[in-house]
Structure 1
Amino acid sequence: MRTYAITGGTDGIGRALGRLLLGRGDRVIALGSGAAKGAAFLAEAADLDAGARAHFVQADLSTLAGMRRAVERVAGLAGALDGAVFGAQRFQTTRVETADGLEFTFALAYLSRAVLGEGLLPLLERAERPVIANLAGPGGLPGTVAWDDLQLRRRYSGRRAAMQGSRCNDLLGADFPARHPGARTRYVLYNPGFVRTAMADPLPLPARAATKALALLLAQPAAAAAARVRELLDSPPPEPAAAFFRRRPVPMTGPDFDPAAAARLREVTDTLLADPRRRV
């Protein structure tokens, strides 16, 4: 029996993946912010006769305290992890600051993955073929890292924040071999493309309705994207780090994966973890 931790595990792709893994006999630790959705996840697990293998950790992954507490909770439930899947994200139409003074999307979609990846790595290294699967945006829509204004205090938009989060995760994955030379854990960046999830819910009504209608026509179901993640967990690439857009490999070259930019982001991240109210 293998053990997996999934952030965003009570919604969308994370929830569908948890169902697939439980259905084949694995153990799943789902992390999410809402108690009601956590209870629904546990009820679904019970319906699959998998109640003893399902765990819910309620966590606020937008705050440093919540991120660190989540690592502790997972470590308390599992002595080893076969995989950690990072899927927690929430689209914000307006700029919101967390309790640490950080822009919400930056904190949830990027920083939580940096903290949990480092914090859970000792558990992953105890497994036979450990994998970190970061559901981000390699090879997708363009975006840049606002090095002079990472918290987007001056020109915020939900799309700009989401795209910056994707680019930060590209650099996080590219930097993994440099941070952990010789690690057995494989780091996989995976862009599922257009998927039918609740990501459009925060949009204003006209845009929300249009996006949901378009999703019915063009987007793949969450279960299909989850099946691809399961494949990557079962058969990780041989390289220390790899990226995919759906089934197409994305070369980890060019500015999105630049080693110097990755090292720069690592330094900025270390500064923020030491003092999140530093102005960056």
Structure 2
Amino acid sequence: MRTYAITGGTDGIGRALGRLLLARGDRVIAVGSGAAKGAAFLADAADLGAAQRAHFLRADLSTVAGMRRAAEGVAQATDSLDAAVFGAQRFQTARAQTADGLEFTFALAYLSRAVLGEGLLPLLERAERPVIANLAGPGGLPGTIAWDDLQLRRRYSGRRAAMQGSRCNDLLGADFPARHPGARTRYVLYNPGFVRTAMADPLPPPARAATKALALVLAQPAAAAAARVRELLDDPPPEPAAAFFRRRRVPMTGPDFDPAAAARLRAVTAGILAGAARRA
């Protein structure tokens, strides 16, 4: 029996992946922010006859304290971890600021993955074939990092924030071998493309209706995307880090994976976390 931790594990791809893993006899720790969705995940597990192998960990992954408590909670639940799957994200049409003074999407979609990746690595290294799967956006829509305004206090848009988060995660994955030379854990960036999830719910009514109608025709079901993630967890690439757009391999070259930019982001991230520690 393998053990998996999934952020965003009570909704969308994360929930579908949890069901697949539980159904085949694995253990799943689903990390999410909502008690109701956590209860639904546990009810699903009970229906599958997997109640004893399903765990819900409620956490606010938009705050640094919440990120660290989530890592501690996973460590309390298991001695080793076969994979950590990072799927927590929430589209924000208007700029929101977290308790740490960070732009919400930057905190949830990027920083939580950076913190949890480091915090869970000791558990992962105890497993036989450990994997970090970061469900982000390699090879997808273009976007840039606003180095002079990472918190997007100027010219905010939900799309700009989401694309910046994807580019930050590209660099996070590319930087993994430099941060952890010799680690047995493999880092996989995976872009599922257009998937039928609740991501369109925060949009204004006309845009929400149009996006959901389009999704019925063009998007793949969450279960199909989850099945591909499961394949990558079961048979990760041999390289320390790899990126995929659906089934297409994305070369980790060019500006999206630039080592100098990755080192720059690492330094900026360390500064943000040090500031949060001082305020705690």
Could you tell me the TM-score, scaled by structure 1's length?
0.99
Q: Percent identity?
A: 88
Is residue 259 from structure 1 mapped to residue 259 from structure 2 by the alignment? yes
Distance 1:227 1:61 in 2: 25
Q: String of CA shifts for 1:175-202, please: whole Å, max 9, x gaps.
A: 0000000000000000000000000000
Distance 2:44 2:213 in 1: 27
Per the alignment, residue 23 of structure 2 pairs with 23
Q: String of CA shifts for 1:61-93, please: whole Å, max 9, x gaps.
A: 000010000000000001000000000000000
Per the alignment, residue 204 of structure 2 pairs with 204
Amino acid at match of 2:142: P
SS, match of residue 62 in structure 1? coil
Q: How does 1:1-280 map to 2 (within 5 A)?
A: 1-276=1-276
Alpha carbons of structure 1 residues 147 and 277: separation in structure 2 relative to 1, 3 Å: farther
Q: String of CA shifts for 1:135-164, please: whole Å, max 9, x gaps.
A: 000000000000000000011000000000
Amino acid at match of 2:172: L
Amino acid at match of 2:156: Y
Distance 2:64 2:141 in 1: 28
Distance 1:116 1:32 in 2: 14
Q: Give the number of aligned pairs.
A: 278
SS, match of residue 52 in structure 2? helix
Could you tell me the TM-score, scaled by structure 2's length?
0.99
Contact conserved, 1:101 with 1:277, CA < 8 A, in 2?
Answer: no
Q: String of CA shifts for 1:215-267, please: whole Å, max 9, x gaps.
A: 00000000000000000000000000000000000000000000000000000
Distance 2:103 2:27 in 1: 33
Amino acid at match of 2:228: R
SS, match of residue 187 in structure 2? strand
Distance 1:204 1:21 in 2: 35
How far the C-alpha of 1:205 sits from its partner, in A, is 0.1
Amino acid at match of 2:230: R
After TM superposition, which residue ranges in structure 1, 4 or more long, deviate above 4 angstroms?
none
How far the C-alpha of 1:277 sits from its partner, in A, is 10
Contact conserved, 1:102 with 1:277, CA < 8 A, in 2?
Answer: no
Distance 1:256 1:9 in 2: 27
Distance 2:204 2:155 in 1: 19
SS, match of residue 151 in structure 2? coil
Q: Which runs of 5+ in 1 are unaligned?
A: none
SS, match of residue 96 in structure 1? coil
Indicate the RMSD between aligned Cα atoms, in angstroms: 0.9
SS, match of residue 80 in structure 1? coil
Distance 2:156 2:277 in 1: 18
Amino acid at match of 2:174: A
Amino acid at match of 1:3: T
